[in-house]
Amino acid sequence: MIRPLIAANWKMHKTITESVDFARDLAGRFPELKDRDVVIAPPFTALSAVAQALRGSSIFPAAQNLHWEDQGAYTGEISAPMLADSGCRYVIIGHSERRTLFGDTNERVNRKLRAALRYDLKPIFCIGETLAEREAAQTFDIIEKQLKEGLNNIPTSDIRRLALAYEPVWAIGTGKTATTEQAQEVHEFIRNVLTTLHDRDQAAQVPILYGGSVKPDNIGTLMIQPDINGALVGGAGLDIESFAAIVRFDNT
Ligand code: PGA
């Protein structure tokens, strides 16, 4: 059984004070998480302070991006060893906003994944099709390409160190959620591609999160699906009450 993972991606929201207040509040509400992992991804400026606020709690800090080089003349970028040094444990890689607005190709995503793994950061590797791709019946081809190219040269023994996030681009921030059947269908496909590219044992251990307009009222039905093992939450992760309600999901 895969341990569920619920992650909030705050994108470009929250000051240091707002981030730390949220982190403390959340850690106080969930002093012990026996059957799920919870992650929050503040902006870089708040990462170190959030990591400190979460120390000793069962909630972990994540970054929203990284650069693949360890150091160098890359103005404005942040490396994996810098993230590890700040207390960060997870990193979101290949989010669709990075892909569409900031030029993250599958090849760059692959370099970022390998950099994260080198420094023992757990990647949350995002993939997903656009509306045009879904309407052109290309969803599975796109997902397979993103997986193959993204995981290029990553040894099979490292696959279980990843989390995957399936985020249909048309469902992000739009209020449109994929139906649970649509999501489960793609999640099952992802698990099959991982099995073909690597092996069944490793593929069976990878949490596959769903992302795109996850809310307190749809998390339960998503989490019932056999291949949905968590959620990557944007908008609803900015509000403590709604994120806490998502973290508390009941899939029994
Ligand atoms: P949303 O964002 O929950 O606001 O749709 C999800 C994401 O971008 O990860």
Return all residues near 83 (Cβ < 8 A) that are at least 6 apart. 47, 63, 66, 91, 119, 121
- Determine if ligand 1 sits within 6 Å of the CB of residue 173: yes
Atom of ligand 1 nearest to the CA of 215: 3
CB of 246 closer than 6 angstroms to any ligand 1 atom: no
Task: Using alpha carbons, select from 32, 40, 29, 31 the residue that is nearest to residue 5.
Answer: 40
Distance 199 CA to ligand 1 centre (A): 30
Mutate to test the pocket of ligand 1, among 167, 174, 238 (most ligand atoms within 8 A of CB): 167
23 lines ligand 1 (CB under 6 A): no
pLDDT score at 176: 80
From the CA of 232, give the closest atom in ligand 1: 9
Nearest CA, atom 1, ligand 1 = 234
Distance 234 CA to ligand 1 centre (A): 3
- Strands of 51-194 (E only): list them: 59-63, 90-93, 122-127, 163-166
38 C-alpha vs ligand 1 centroid, how far in Å?
A: 16
Q: Is 230 in the pocket of ligand 1 (CB under 6 A)?
A: no
**pLDDT tens digits, the chain, 252 residues: what are they?**
899 999 999 999 999 999 999 999 999 999 999 999 999 999 999 999 999 999 999 899 999 999 999 999 999 999 999 999 999 999 999 999 999 999 999 999 999 999 999 999 999 999 999 999 999 999 999 999 999 999 999 999 999 999 999 999 998 888 787 899 999 999 999 999 999 998 898 899 999 999 999 999 999 999 999 999 999 999 999 999 999 999 999 877
Q: Which CATH superfamily is domain 5-247 in?
A: Aldolase class I (3.20.20.70)
- pLDDT of 178: 84
Active-site amino acid positions? 95, 167
**Atom number in ligand 1 closest to CA 212:** 5
The string of DSSP letters for 17-84 reads HHHHHHHHHHHHH-S--SS-EEEEE--HHHHHHHHHHHTTSSEEEEES--BSSSSSS-TT--BHHHHH
47 lines ligand 1 (CB under 6 A): no
Burial class of residue 230 (count of CB atoms within 10 Å of its CB; 0-12, 13-18, 19+):
buried
CB 180 within 8 A of CB 172: no
d(CA 117, CA 90): 10
- Let me know: does 7 contact 41? Beta carbons within 8 Å: yes
The finding on whether 235 has its CB within 6 A of some atom of ligand 1 is: yes
What is the DSSP pairing of strand 37-41 with strand 163-166? unpaired
Q: What is the pLDDT of residues 187-224, one digit of tens each?
A: 999 999 999 998 898 899 999 999 999 999 999 999 99
Sequence letter at residue 119: Y
What residues have CB less than 8 Å from 139, skipping those under 6 apart? 129, 133, 186
CA 49 – CA 67 distance, rounded (Å): 21
pLDDT at residue number 199: 87
Tens of pLDDT, residues 145-180: 999 999 999 999 999 999 999 999 998 888 787 899
| Predicted local confidence at residue 177, as pLDDT | 78
Spatial separation of the C-alpha atoms in residues 207 and 5, rounded to whole Å:
7
